[in-house]
């Protein structure tokens, strides 16, 4: 592989990583805007209901009945968000926001119901509250549009890069280096997906496509499976190896796990003994090797 091919491969990796980070960013923005929509909708509802109650357009009994029904609906929605946030244990920060908003919705509706009994009818104040409710609804609409735009951009990038599942990690310079003290293994997978509740490390290979997955590439994916399973304390049953838009699943079974561990032990033993030699006679591979300059056995 020539230096030009290596440079092109690095550029493809960088472009792919940028797209992955953009997907994560836009999907996070979409979730945050969804929360803004919920908050604005709750506030607009409260303002609107209190405003209506102050207009004196209906008897207190009718107002109480309407408010009771609406409060039940909102409390049900709030409980749903509580359940949804609790079920997403891997999205801790998002879950905290959702729990907070859900609790706030319950408290807000209770306050709104009680405020009716504490306020006298005031038509001017009622109009002010209705206008404020309209402003909050406009804000909710704008937030919903922003959420839609972010989600749409993320979706386009996903389709372009054929990405499925939640992106949990992108291995670029500056991202967290995964370290396993147990296996003495460090690394950054190109990215990690969550598919069907399971973490899946993915390795991207650019340049010439082989007829099938190369053994060294399979071992690399398996090493990432071992690393991710230990660092993130999650079961990893397989990894993915991508050559362009061609994707291969690498099953991380016990045999492959044992092979990776034995290779790690062999590497450490050779490092301790200092008995490490070039294991090929391929000038092309030698020329493209990233360790060529420090290798005392380079071919040319």
Top-tier CATH class for 166-275: alpha beta
Of the candidates 240, 279, 282, 284, which has an alpha carbon nearest to the alpha carbon of residue 263? 279
Q: In the predicted model, is pLDDT for residue 281 greater than 90? A: no
Identify any residues that bridge with 251 across adjacent strands, giving them in sequence order: 238
Q: How confident is the model at residue 177 (pLDDT cuts 50, 70, 90)?
A: very high
Q: In the predicted model, is pLDDT for residue 214 greater than 80? A: yes
* Mean pLDDT value of segment 146-168: 85
Residue 66 or residue 132, greater confidence: 132
Contact 202, 194 (CB under 8 A): no
* Count of CB atoms situated within 10 Å of the CB of 139: 17
For the purposes of burial, counting CB atoms within 10 Å of the CB of 69, is it exposed (0-12), middle (13-18) or buried (19 or more)? exposed
Q: In the predicted model, is pLDDT for residue 73 greater than 50? A: yes
How far apart are the C-alpha atoms of 84 and 89, rounded to whole Å? 10
Q: What is the pLDDT of residue 257?
A: 94
* E-only strand ranges, 154-220: 166-170, 178-180, 185-187, 191-195, 198-205
Q: In the predicted model, is pLDDT for residue 201 greater than 80? A: yes
Q: In the predicted model, is pLDDT for residue 242 greater than 70? A: yes
* Count of CB atoms situated within 10 Å of the CB of 3: 9
Contact 236, 200 (CB under 8 A): yes
Element (H, E) at 240: strand 238-243
Residue 239 or residue 121, greater confidence: 239
Q: Which pairing describes strands 238-243 and 198-205: parallel, antiparallel, or unpaired? A: parallel
How far apart are the C-alpha atoms of 116 and 44, rounded to whole Å? 16
Contact 169, 21 (CB under 8 A): no
Element (H, E) at 94: helix 92-118
Domain boundaries along the sequence of the chain: 3-161, 166-275
Residue 230 or residue 147, greater confidence: 230
Q: How confident is the model at residue 16 (pLDDT cuts 50, 70, 90)?
A: confident
Q: How confident is the model at residue 295 (pLDDT cuts 50, 70, 90)?
A: confident
Give the pLDDT confidence of 121-154 residue by residue, as tens digits. Answer: 566 766 776 677 777 777 777 877 888 888 888 8
* Mean pLDDT value of segment 271-280: 76
Can you read off the two tokens belonging to residue 161?
């890069």
Residue 108 or residue 130, greater confidence: 130
For the purposes of burial, counting CB atoms within 10 Å of the CB of 160, is it exposed (0-12), middle (13-18) or buried (19 or more)? exposed
């Amino acid at each position: 592989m020539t230096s030009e091919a290596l440079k092109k491969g690095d550029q493809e990796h960088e472009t792919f990583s940028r797209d992955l980070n953009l997907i994560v960013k836009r999907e996070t923005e979409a979730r945050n805007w969804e929360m803004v929509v919920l908050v604005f909708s709750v506030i607009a509802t409260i303002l609107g209901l209190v405003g209506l109650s102050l207009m004196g357009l209906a008897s207190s009994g009718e107002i109480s009945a309407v408010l009771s029904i609406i409060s039940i609906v909102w409390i049900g929605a709030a409980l749903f968000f509580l359940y949804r946030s609790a079920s997403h244990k891997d999205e801790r920060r998002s879950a905290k926001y959702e729990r907070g908003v859900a609790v706030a919705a319950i408290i807000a509706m209770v306050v709104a119901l009680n405020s009716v009994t504490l306020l006298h009818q005031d038509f001017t104040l009622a109009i002010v509250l209705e206008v404020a409710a309209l402003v909050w609804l406009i804000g909710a609409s704008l937030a919903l549009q922003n959420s839609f735009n972010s989600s749409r951009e993320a979706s386009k990038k996903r389709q372009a890069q054929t990405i499925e599942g939640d992106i949990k990690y992108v291995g670029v310079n500056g991202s967290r280096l995964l370290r396993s003290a147990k296996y003495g293994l460090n690394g950054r997978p190109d990215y990690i997906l969550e598919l069907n509740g399971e973490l899946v490390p993915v390795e991207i290979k650019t340049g010439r496509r082989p007829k099938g997955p190369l053994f060294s590439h399979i071992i690399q994916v398996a090493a990432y499976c071992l690393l991710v399973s230990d660092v993130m304390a999650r079961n990893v049953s397989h990894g993915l190896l991508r050559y362009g838009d061609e994707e291969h699943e690498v099953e991380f079974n016990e045999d492959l796990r044992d092979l990776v561990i034995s290779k790690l032990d062999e590497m450490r033993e050779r490092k301790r003994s200092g008995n490490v030699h070039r294991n090929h006679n391929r000038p092309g591979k030698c020329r493209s090797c990233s360790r060529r300059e420090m290798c005392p056995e380079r071919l040319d």
